[in-house]
């Protein structure tokens, strides 16, 4: 008997917790409201299923609990009922999957006007590279990484000379302009995770992964790592600042290019060797 009551309490408690508790996702700051909508649809459908199944179960336990002299009904199966339940479940699952796949299609299709930004992760800090005036990032390779070239930009690729390098600093992005975030790691797996943007993707050494989004409001956002990357995993934090156009241009003007960075350092490093 108590179990029937507890089952009802579990359902009511879960629903109340969902509706009343203050813990909910952080306000969104990107175009991926679709993801939130899909999530809400999923909550409704699954919540409905959970409540109805558990309440029905509680009713069964209450109604058919053992009484003296009672005997269970003999009923091996009911094809018709099972068929109906299969069809209903399949429809429910399709209702979840279809919007999900549409949004995923959007998620993996980068718009042509998206600007490239490169994020480079290492144990345990974030660095960034912007394509500079030519709009193209230069080639890069982990093999080229050294004290004077921390991101491994290819010095022989002319497209790389004007690349803007932000080593272990904050990234600024203009609001309302789509960006394609190219993700690179130079040591282990990391994951560029800004909860407000919803989108995230692992960074895998040896390859370049990507996702895209459009920032929709200005402000400072914290970057976290979401793929276990060693003992410093929890402390690998960074910051992304979403600016209005004027602020962004002002910030961009202050940042060093690859060419500017490598020239003086190379001389300084070479001098004591001789």
Partner 1 sequence: MVDATQEIDTDIPPAEVPELELYHPKSWWTTYVFSQDAKIIALQYSGTAFAIGLVALVLSWLIRLQLGFPGLVDFITPEAYYQIVTMHGMIMVVYLLTALFLGGFGNYLIPLMVGARDMVFPYVNMLSYWIYLLAVLVLVASFFAPGGPTGAGWTLYPPQAILGGTPGGQQAGILLMLASLMLFIIGFTMGGLNYVVTILQGRTRGMTLMRMPLTLWGIFTATVMALLAFPALFVACVMMMFDRVLGTSFFMPALVEMGEQLKYGGGSPILFQHLFWFFGHPEVYIVALPAFGIVSDLISVHARKNIFGYRMMVWAIVIIGALSFVVWAHHMYVSGMDPRFGFFFATTTLVIAVPTALKVYNWILTLWRGDIHLRLPMLFALAFIVTFLNGGLTGLFLGNVVVDVPLSDTMFVVAHFHMVMGVAPILVIFGAIYHWYPKITGRMLDEKMGRFHFWVTFVGAYAIFFPMHYVGLVGVPRRYVELGDPAFVTTPVHGLNAFITVAALVVGFAQLVFLFNIVWSLRHGRPSGGNPWGAASLEWQTPETPPGHGNWGRELPIVYRWAYDYSVPGAPRDFIAQDDPWPQPPARPS
Residue number, 77 or 156, with CB nearest to partner 1: 77
Residue number, 128 or 193, with CB nearest to partner 1: 193
Smallest distance, partner 1 to C-beta of residue 72, A: 4
In 3D space, the residue among 163, 206, 200 whose CA is nearest the CA of residue 184 turns out to be 206
Residue number, 18 or 245, with CB nearest to partner 1: 18
Question: Cα(181)–Cα(114) distance, rounded to whole angstroms?
Answer: 9
Residue number, 66 or 274, with CB nearest to partner 1: 66
Smallest distance, partner 1 to C-beta of residue 17, A: 7
The DSSP line for 152-177 is -B-TT-GGGTT-EEETTS-EEEETT-
Q: How big is the chain by its Cα radius of gyration, in Å?
A: 27
Query: What separation, in Å, do the N-terminal and C-terminal C-alpha atoms of the chain show?
Result: 88
Q: Are 203 and 183 in contact (CB under 8 A)?
A: yes
Smallest distance, partner 1 to C-beta of residue 267, A: 21
**Considering Cα of 34, then 40, then 45, then 49, what sign does the dihedral take?**
positive
Residue number, 56 or 111, with CB nearest to partner 1: 56
Cis peptide before 124 (omega within 30 of 0): yes
Smallest distance, partner 1 to C-beta of residue 102, A: 9
Smallest distance, partner 1 to C-beta of residue 133, A: 28
């Amino acid at each position: 008997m108590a179990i029937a009551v507890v089952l009802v309490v579990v359902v009511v408690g879960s629903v109340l917790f969902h509706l009343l508790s203050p813990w909910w996702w952080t306000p969104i700051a990107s175009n991926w409201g679709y993801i939130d909508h899909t999530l809400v649809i999923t909550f409704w459908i699954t919540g409905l299923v959970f409540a109805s199944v558990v309440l029905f179960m509680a009713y069964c336990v209450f109604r058919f609990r053992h009484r003296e002299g009672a005997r269970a009904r003999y009923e091996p199966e009911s094809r018709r009922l099972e068929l109906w339940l299969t069809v209903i479940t399949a429809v429910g699952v399709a209702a979840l999957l279809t919007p999900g796949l549409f949004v995923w299609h959007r998620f993996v299709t980068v718009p042509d006007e998206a600007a490239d930004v490169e994020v480079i992760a290492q144990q345990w800090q974030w660095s960034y590279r912007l394509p500079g005036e030519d709009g193209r990032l230069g080639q890069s390779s982990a093999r080229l990484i050294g004290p004077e070239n921390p991101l491994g930009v290819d010095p022989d690729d002319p497209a790389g000379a004007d690349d803007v390098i932000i080593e272990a600093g904050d990234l600024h992005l203009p609001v309302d302009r789509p960006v394609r975030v190219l993700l690179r790691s130079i040591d282990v797996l990391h994951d560029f995770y800004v909860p407000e943007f919803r989108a995230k993707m692992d960074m895998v050494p040896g390859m370049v992964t990507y996702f895209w989004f459009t920032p929709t409001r200005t402000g400072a956002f914290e970057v976290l790592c979401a793929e276990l990357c060693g003992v410093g995993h929890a402390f690998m934090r960074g910051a992304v600042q979403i600016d209005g156009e004027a602020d962004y241009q002002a910030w961009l003007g202050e940042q060093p290019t690859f060419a500017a960075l490598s020239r003086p350092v190379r001389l300084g490093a070479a001098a004591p060797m001789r």
